[in-house]
Amino acid sequence: MVKICCIGAGYVGGPTMAIIALKCPAVEVVVVDISVARITAWNSEQLPIYEPGLDDVVKECRGRNLFFSTDVERHVAEADIIFVSVNTPTKTRGLGAGKAADLTYWESAARMIADVAKSDKIVVEKSTVPVKTAEAIEKILTHNSKGINFQILSNPEFLAEGTAIQDLLKPDRVLIGGRETPEGRAAVEALKAVYAQWVPVERIITTNLWSAELSKLAANAFLAQRISSVNAISALCEATGADVTEVAYAVGRDSRIGPKFLNASVGFGGSCFQKDILNLVYICECNGLPEVATYWKQVIKINDYQKSRFVNRVVSSMFNTVSGKKVAVLGFAFKKDTGDTRETPAIDVCKGLLGDKAAISIYDPQVTEDQIQRDLTMNKFDWDHPIHLQPMSPTAVKQVSVVWDAYEATRGAHAVCVLTEWDEFRALDFQRIYNQMQKPAFIFDGRNVLDADLLRRIGFIVYSIGKALDPWLKDMPAVA
């Protein structure tokens, strides 16, 4: 029986290994983590992450050929293939702070593998890492190898949260990079054989190590760039009376461009896009390519601009102040169908409104009060260091209340901001909401999910991203 061990039981390690266990009953899969809380949750009825379809897969495989454990060293020692899926956050201090990837967690995992290994291993980079990380990992492993043969593969993960199970079951492609040596090619074939249990072989791409590592950063940069492009156009739509949904549709009908990932929004969030582009920018700078670095940096600048443009629109529409006014925030997760708040645009929007002294009432169906308070008090980039190992922030933000119902959040509010596209928000009784709000009642739809015409008929003043402005909003001072 092939034994697989995955170091890191997070958003990637957990679901990815669950699907491998589901599709490869002859393989034993153990997911290990240093976080006792996470492993306990994986072994319980309340999994540590919310992901549609995940519960069923875990229930079917757990205890059969899927195991979760904190006994990291034992399972690493016993495994034939070791996936490393630890966090690779943005560095917060020292050389490259605010841009470069912090490989502390990766390096400590690699050193531990070298320490405990007693037989040959295939070590798979599942985490998103800078190009040439495999070379550094190889050095750590071979310098400590005691004669053991290690083959390093790059097998970046392309799943998106909220759709992870479907993405894993039917991936557009699986990418495996390896050394172009007989041993390297054999290792690639061994990993390919695992995926080939359910992924058509023509969808399994094999490349050299550096191409695989760079493809992951490039894919995320291209995806984020589409969103920043449509968001840049959304600002122009508001200024001219064009409608960003119509423009995106017309543009996306060009088969060379395609319709996906062209939804204008309050800004992209999530643990990957910003981190990976900053990392790409840093690598470009280190390789003497400042023009390329500047090009990609602009994708993040437009994203920051979109978030602050939204805050400015809220404040300027409401007589240039939200001080002491209740603003209801519907949705805090970075997208629907996840409880993940890493780099969610809601953090920047809420901090912006708090800066103008608003009182915020937040409702999200999947995010806890603890998490929201932690997010609003944490420093930039600190979130990707295992925060679940850290205690709750002692100083909760007093101007923020977190409630478990959209009607409660909007009671007595001056404005509603929709920051996540949860389906349930479309079905809310907005007449009821209007009746219990202060007047004039504003709605700022940061995801273009609400029926603006219906809301206007009820009496709301409505702002939708990239749409013609209500006369009220037009009359307010220009947004910086």
Binding site for ligand UDX (CB under 6 A): 157-161, 220, 223, 227, 261-263, 265, 268-270, 272-273, 334-335
Nearer to ligand NAD, 34 or 400 (CB): 34
Specify the 3-state DSSP secondary structure of 458. Answer: helix
Angle (CA) 373-375-380 rounded to 5° is 145
Among 4, 5, 6, 13, binds ligand NAD (CB under 6 A): 13
Nearer to ligand NAD, 238 or 276 (CB): 276
Tokens of 203: 């969808």
Helices (H), 121-264: 133-143, 164-169, 182-195, 209-240, 244-252
- For residue 41, the tally of other CB atoms under 10 A from its CB is 18
Distance CA(375)–CA(357), nearest Å, equals 18
What are the catalytic residues?
272
Site size with ligand NAD, rule: CB under 6 A? 27
Contacts of 188 (CB under 8 A, 6+ apart): 153, 176, 177, 178, 206
125 makes contact, choosing from ligand UDX, ligand NAD, none, with CB < 5 to 8 Å by partner type, with none
Distance CA(101)–CA(89), nearest Å, equals 6
Q: Would you say 270 is a known binding-site residue?
A: no
92-151 residues near ligand NAD, rule: CB under 6 A: 105, 108-109, 127-128
34 makes contact, choosing from ligand NAD, ligand UDX, none, with CB < 5 to 8 Å by partner type, with ligand NAD
Binding segment for ligand NAD (CB under 6 A), chosen from 3-11, 92-100, 437-445, 460-468, is: 3-11
> With binding defined as CB under 6 A, does residue 410 bind ligand NAD?
no
> With binding defined as CB under 6 A, does residue 234 bind ligand NAD?
no
| DSSP 8-state secondary structure symbol assigned to residue 244 | H
Contact letters for ligand NAD, residues 373-402 (x by CB under 6 A): -------------x----------------
Nearer to ligand NAD, 38 or 326 (CB): 38
Q: Would you say 219 is a known binding-site residue?
A: no
Smallest distance, ligand UDX to C-beta of residue 269, A = 4
Q: Would you say 382 is a known binding-site residue?
A: no
142-171 residues near ligand NAD, rule: CB under 6 A: 157, 159, 161
Distance CA(97)–CA(278), nearest Å, equals 10
Q: Would you say 434 is a known binding-site residue?
A: no
Angle (CA) 376-92-217 rounded to 5° is 95
Rg (CA), the chain: 24
Angle (CA) 242-244-249 rounded to 5° is 115
One DSSP character per residue, 356-407 reads: TT-EEEEE-SS--HHHHHHHHHSPTTGGGTTGGGSPPPSS--TTEEE-S-HH
72 makes contact, choosing from ligand UDX, ligand NAD, none, with CB < 5 to 8 Å by partner type, with ligand NAD
Nearer to ligand NAD, 34 or 479 (CB): 34
Annotated binding site for NAD(+): 8-13, 33, 38, 86-90, 127-128, 161, 272-275, 342
Binding site for ligand NAD (CB under 6 A): 7-13, 33-35, 38, 72, 85-88, 105, 108-109, 127-128, 157, 159, 161, 271-272, 386
